[in-house]
A and B are shown apart, each in its own frame.
Chain A
Amino acid sequence: MRKPHPSRALSAQEQDALASELDALRDSVVADLGERDARHIRRMVRIARYSALFGRVALMFGFVPLLWPLAVFALGISKILENMEIGHNVMHGQYDWMNDPRMNSQTYEWDNVGTSANWRKTHNFKHHTYTNILGLDDDLGYDVTRITGAQRWNPGYLLQPAYNVVFALLFQWGVALQDMKLGRYLLGRRPVSEMIAKFRPIIRKSGFQMFKDYLFFPLIAGPSFVAVLLGNFIANGMRNVWTYSIIHCGHFPAGVRVYSRAECRNESRGHWYARQMNGSANIEGSRLLYILSGHLSHQIEHHLFPDIPAHRYPEMAPTVRAICEKYGQHYVTGSFIRQFGSVIGKFFLYAIPNLQRRPSAA
């Protein structure tokens, strides 16, 4: 809007060439999948499980000085690992080639109040197929935040910098309720009976999560009831804020493109690839950050190859970046502080109506 997007438009031939280069990269990694990848994901599972075990047991002895914060931290890290590097990636089918029933994308259930079934629909299908298409990708602002001038303004957005703090703290509930699209029922556009039917699995799943963290483990801790309950609450909050931050750096930082439906009608595979490149942003950092972000630090690579084991993305990134440059496509990347800062800037920028005439999605 202020200045034209730096990526150039690709001809049909260029789109096809781009697609075949990316397909070739994909094929080379697929052919190499094996032992190493299996070892990686199992190691992550072991770390998450033992870290949770330590956290949950140590919380019961929270009266020992310094043990309580350590236990909360361990449980929080376990929840982050489980949601990001394990759950999110397994549910993408990244490890289905292992043919291991424990790593099956269709049966995996994660440690989150949102059901895996809902997630597979809103995220794997809608968000990854229609990435950054206004009106089709519900992840564009998650229906609550205005992050581009192409979204119609309403006065409620004036409060978005404030309510995003609450959203961050309760992020897993946003994930759980996203597919409900509650507005439709509140406005009476859809029958309430449908709402109740859709609510049932969510209540079941979140009920179990609540039972586990706020009743079962505190109760078996006996006298440490409050220490455990509070510890679990903070660990969940820690995971919520972290996942919120990482996920908001994926598609909202400056330089990321938003598309209109018209632009994507009957798009070629090459156009789809280009849209994924231009519609995603990476975060630069250490290997620890990569793992704790579930390798969503490599959002661009993830969107190009959602079903390739994520720990491969850092190795693929230089090739992807070279292909981007070759075809004149902008590769958005930066430190976590810079990317997240840019997103927060947008919360303020788009809280107020557009100063110019409403632009087309660009």
Chain B
Amino acid sequence: MTRARGILLGIWEFVVGDDWRAAIGVVLALGLTAIAAAANVSAWWIMPLAVLAILALSLRRAARGASRRG
């Protein structure tokens, strides 16, 4: 592994952690908010609801993982 690759992997692990799907969900939710705001639609409610769903799904995946290990 090159040093640059190691540094990039370290940054990824530091910021994104062990659930990359949650990070993708955040980016998609921000994109959706930007599209709604650009279309002059009230967009403030999108992020709270999206984050609630992202967190619930992430926890569900973790609980299922623990269930398989147990």
> Bound pair: A and B?
no
B residues at A contact (CB < 8 Å): none
